[in-house]
Structure 1
Amino acid sequence: MFLAKYEKNINDLQTETYPVKHLLLYATRFYQYMLAVVTDLKTLRVQVVQVIMAGRYKFTLSAELLEKATNELSEPKSDSQRLKAIDSFLKAFEEKYPLIGLPRNDDNFLLRFLRARKFNQKKAISVLHKYLTQPADWPEMFDKIWNPVLMDDALESGAVVPLASKAKDGSTVIIVRPGLGEKNLFLDLFADLFLTIETLLDEEEVQINGVTVIQDMAYLSMDMVKQVNPLMAKRFLNTLQECTPVRICSMNVTNQFRIFDVFFSIIQPFMNDKTKSRFKLHGTDFSKLYEIVDRSGLPPMFAGEGPELEPVDWKTKLTGEATEL
């Protein structure tokens, strides 16, 4: 449309006869017009880029979190370099896996994979690929994630609930209580945990600070342990360690009894070295746990001074929001 202002002169040049000096004059004008066209195109391109960039990611968190992301996750400090890393990551993934469609390609979604692997593009691509293909390997668990009503018992009982208070390192604390509720299905518990993590990852602070997991084994029963076989244990650890873009700061087990030893013997062979190094057994002595999470923020079940867990609000959040898993 913007070429319309040049059409009259161009048509004149094509349809009328002029002396040579006039032709030279019009040739000069035509050259000037074409320069103007190029300038307009450049301006239009800049405007389009500005519109696109206006919707791109900008780091709006605290300077302290930016410093942490830079030091611990190798995240670029500037928005431009961060966006460059995101675009390069997306392009590399699409070139390697052209037949795999992404449920989302927004900056926040892609950024969590880069952060989870300290901006190592190759490792981030591996996690994203496994994240997208794991549902085909474990459909019965992901059916529950996609349809939370199928694990309503776990959600209703508060088997997995994050604390309002953070750990001392800034990570989000997730309380996991196997055996709570009436059905006591480990598959529901796993689905509840992964849906919780997925929901929390929409918050950038969680992407950067990670999560601290506290497992209260006081309700664990032999009937539940019998549900876990090596295949389920392998799928669970593989999903947690290789497919989920989250930083696990520590995994704390409390109130464990002899029955836990049976459960641990099944899952332990599938734990990688990093997970093993973050695994801590506290029993009924919470003194070491207080070094990780301040006692003032822990609920009474850990002899803490914080409020009781309120699963209703978290259930509402999980069932009211869609997940990309």
Structure 2
Amino acid sequence: MSARYQFSLSKELLAKAVEELNEPDDDAERLKAIDLLKENYIATNPGLPLLRSDDKFLLKFLRARKFDQDRALKMLTNYHQQRNKWPEVFDKIKNPILLKNFLDAGVIVPLSGKAKNGCKVLVVRPGLVPGLITDTIALVMASLEKLSDEEETQIHGLIFIEDLAYISIDLVQQMSPAIAKRAVGIIQDAMPLRLKQINITNEPKIFDVISVIFQPFLKDKLKKRVRLHGTDFDALYQVVDRSVLPIMFAGSGPELDTEGWKNTILEEGTAL
């Protein structure tokens, strides 16, 4: 049996987790919460075994839902149910080598630095490589799965920068309401991460069509966290310092580590 979880991060992170996520500051109390979530899941999902039952896996669902047992259980259940509902996406998440051309191009890559509030920053460039919208969605989900294992990201949260400079008519035509509902639903209700902000840059003229497709499925809280920047990044610099942003956002930070992120995704695949 593996050793039980013990909080080993900084005092500052523990304080943030206690204040913002209602996380117990005591290891024993935290383990009680983990065990209760596991027991409740097993009791309510007899035909849907846990993908993983280790403390770190279950803890990220508790953190994503501020240690509310009912909400964490709902997210954990959604997470497992989704694996069987969308094979054209999840088969590729489980076999990310099928997304190698997207990884080679750097369609989705996190910044090496953090946002000013400590959040991880994920850059998404749909359309950079021609292909299926479901492949882009699969790579988003695979990336979120990797990032959700990072404890600092669990506590601080995640910020998206979606650069729409490469969006094509073909890709937009693939964005049906059904696909939008599924994708947004997974990100909002199944992925154990706190999405703090979505920054959209270089919106094309056809962006209004994209917005009409996706807006109905965004919860009000997330709608308020969407920021449109166009080609003026001044407001973005208030969130992510220019020294962290690459030149594509008129920053002075390092280029995206496309190769490093590709290796991260490919070396072990993903659990989801």
Q: So what's the TM-score if we normalise by structure 2?
A: 0.97
Match of 1:27 in 2: none
Counterparts of 2:253 and 2:131, CA distance in 1? 26
Q: Does 1:179 align with 2:127?
A: yes
Shift of 1:92: 1.2
User: Size of the alignment, in residue pairs?
Assistant: 272
Unpaired runs of 5+ residues, structure 2, are none
Counterparts of 1:226 and 1:93, CA distance in 2? 39
Match of 2:184 in 1: 237
Counterparts of 1:79 and 1:239, CA distance in 2? 30
Find 1:159's aligned residue among 87, 91, 107.
107
Counterparts of 2:40 and 2:258, CA distance in 1? 41
Counterparts of 1:261 and 1:290, CA distance in 2? 25
Matching of residues 82-231 of structure 1 within 5 Å: 82-181=30-129, 183-231=130-178
CA contact (8 A) 1:75 1:115 kept: yes
Shift of 1:145: 0.3
Counterparts of 2:101 and 2:178, CA distance in 1? 24
CA contact (8 A) 1:178 1:184 kept: no
Counterparts of 1:171 and 1:73, CA distance in 2? 15
Counterparts of 1:117 and 1:202, CA distance in 2? 15
Unpaired runs of 5+ residues, structure 1, are 1-51
Percent identity of the aligned residues?
A: 50
Shift of 1:189: 1.0
Shift of 1:227: 0.8
Counterparts of 1:222 and 1:310, CA distance in 2? 28
Letter in 2 for 1:131: Y
Larger-Rg structure: 1
Secondary structure, aligned partner of 1:275 = helix
Q: So what's the TM-score if we normalise by structure 1?
A: 0.82
CA contact (8 A) 1:221 1:259 kept: no
Counterparts of 1:257 and 1:98, CA distance in 2? 47
Counterparts of 1:60 and 1:280, CA distance in 2? 35
Q: Does 1:74 align with 2:22?
A: yes
Counterparts of 2:47 and 2:176, CA distance in 1? 33
Find 2:252's aligned residue among 305, 313, 316.
305
Mean Cα deviation higher: 184-193 or 121-130:
184-193
Counterparts of 1:128 and 1:324, CA distance in 2? 14
Shift of 1:310: 2.4
Matching of residues 242-321 of structure 1 within 5 Å: 242-321=189-268
Counterparts of 1:229 and 1:199, CA distance in 2? 27
Secondary structure, aligned partner of 1:164 = coil
Secondary structure, aligned partner of 1:252 = strand
Shift of 1:261: 1.4
Shift of 1:185: 2.4
Counterparts of 1:324 and 1:316, CA distance in 2? 16
Shift of 1:99: 2.2
1:170-202 superposed Cα distances (whole Å, 9 cap, x missing partner): 010000001112x33221111111111111111
Counterparts of 1:221 and 1:189, CA distance in 2? 13
Match of 1:64 in 2: 12
Shift of 1:322: 3.0
Higher relative contact order, structure no. (Cα contacts within 8 Å, ≥ 6 residues apart): 2
Letter in 1 for 2:225: R
Higher helix proportion (structure 1 or 2)? 1
1:80-113 superposed Cα distances (whole Å, 9 cap, x missing partner): 1100111111111111112221111101000000
CA contact (8 A) 2:132 2:171 kept: yes
Q: Which runs of 4+ in 1 moved over 6 A?
A: none
Secondary structure, aligned partner of 1:281 = strand
1:39-67 superposed Cα distances (whole Å, 9 cap, x missing partner): xxxxxxxxxxxxx6x81000000000001
